[in-house]
């Protein structure tokens, strides 16, 4: 049965960054991160096309193994792109970036309860935090767009809708919880393309987990997403559901660790990595040099 997360939802009135500044689609990841550091906030769908976006979850070091094991056992919603050393806010995926300031919005959790959604997390950062960067489905949207698949949430200037399902993830240590999915309405004639293109990017969730009737995932009403915004579908559109990197946040709600810091749903970390580097058959990521 679908459940509503406790505490306030992600800031639903946040407009996507490209709706706030139409030039944003042409920004480099470095420019976008700088703007977020200055206080700009909003969902990041459509930003820096061709560059990999990532979910964030940071937990105290004594919970890090539980998170790592949870990700290993649930690779579809939780494909790990990088793990930091304890206390570090840097990553080789984005030279010079600061994980405390360079996301447009964060969520702060205490004992499984959402207590704040700041745009700057430095006041909450701790020396024992281990940060996990997890693949994001915004990454494969560039491939879908190039293949002619419309992105309704981008067209409508909305955050992608996300839903808590009745499917349980495989527990790991002290962490357990339900699968979260993102949904994109896809015209029937583009379904095969959408499945094929996303299957080539398993590091950012890969192919869909469900197509069609949302009741198959225990979702009662598509107009009431648990995170993000409802999206209007076209007359020939079919709802397509992908595993979502908000799943660790659902595990935080269910398992109640004493502290966790995450991205706000839809407000992702923009890396310097290119999407093609995570495509099946591509060479491993190498840090780019000027």
Any domain includes 288: no
pLDDT of residue 9 exceeding 50: no
pLDDT of residue 214 exceeding 70: yes
Residue 283 pLDDT class (50, 70, 90 cuts): low
CATH number of the CATH domain containing 112? 3.30.2040.10
Any domain includes 220: yes
Any domain includes 151: yes
Any domain includes 58: yes
- How confident is the model at residue 11, as a pLDDT? 43
Any domain includes 7: no
Lowest mean pLDDT segment, chosen from 17-26, 55-64, 110-119, 142-151? 17-26
- How confident is the model at residue 21, as a pLDDT? 81
Instruction: Tell me the whole-structure pTM to 2 decimals.
Output: 0.90
Cα 236 to the center of its chain, rounded Å: 27
Any domain includes 2: no
How many domains does the structure of the chain reveal? 1
pLDDT in tens, 114-166: 999 999 999 999 999 999 999 999 989 989 999 999 999 989 989 999 999 99
- How confident is the model at residue 190, as a pLDDT? 96
The alpha carbons of the chain give a radius of gyration, in whole angstroms, of: 17
Q: How many CB atoms lie within 10 A of CB 98?
A: 18
Q: Are 84 and 91 in contact (CB under 8 A)?
A: yes
Q: Which domain holds residue 100?
A: 17-278
Q: What is the pLDDT of the chain when averaged over all its residues?
A: 91
């Amino acid at each position: 049965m679908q459940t509503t997360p406790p505490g306030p939802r992600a800031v639903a009135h946040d407009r996507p960054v490209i709706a706030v500044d139409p030039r944003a689609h042409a920004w480099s990841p470095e420019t976008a991160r700088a703007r977020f550091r200055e206080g700009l906030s909003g969902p990041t769908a459509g930003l820096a096309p061709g560059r990999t976006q990532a979910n964030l979850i940071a937990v105290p070091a004594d919970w890090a193994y539980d998170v790592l094991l949870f990700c290993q056992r649930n690779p579809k919603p939780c494909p790990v792109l990088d793990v930091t050393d304890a206390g570090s806010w840097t990553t080789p995926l984005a030279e010079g970036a600061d994980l405390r300031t360079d996301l447009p919005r964060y969520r702060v959790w205490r004992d499984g309860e959402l207590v704040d959604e700041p745009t700057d997390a430095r006041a909450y950062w701790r020396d024992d935090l281990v940060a996990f960067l997890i693949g994001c489905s915004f990454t494969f949207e560039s491939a879908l767009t190039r293949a002619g698949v419309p992105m309704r949430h981008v067209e409508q200037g909305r955050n992608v809708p996300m839903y808590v399902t009745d499917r349980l993830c495989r527990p790991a240590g002290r962490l357990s919880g339900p699968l979260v999915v993102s949904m994109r309405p896809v015209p029937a004639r583009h379904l095969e393309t959408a499945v094929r293109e996303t299957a080539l990017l398993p590091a950012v969730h890969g192919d869909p987990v469900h197509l069609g009737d949302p009741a198959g995932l225990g979702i009662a009403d598509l107009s009431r997403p648990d995170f993000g915004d409802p999206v209007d579908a076209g007359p020939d559109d079919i709802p397509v559901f992908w595993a979502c990197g908000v799943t660790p946040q659902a595990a935080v709600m269910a398992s109640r660790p004493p502290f966790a810091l995450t991205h706000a749903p839809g407000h992702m970390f923009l890396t310097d990595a290119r999407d093609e580097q995570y495509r099946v058959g591509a060479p491993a990521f190498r840090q780019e040099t000027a």
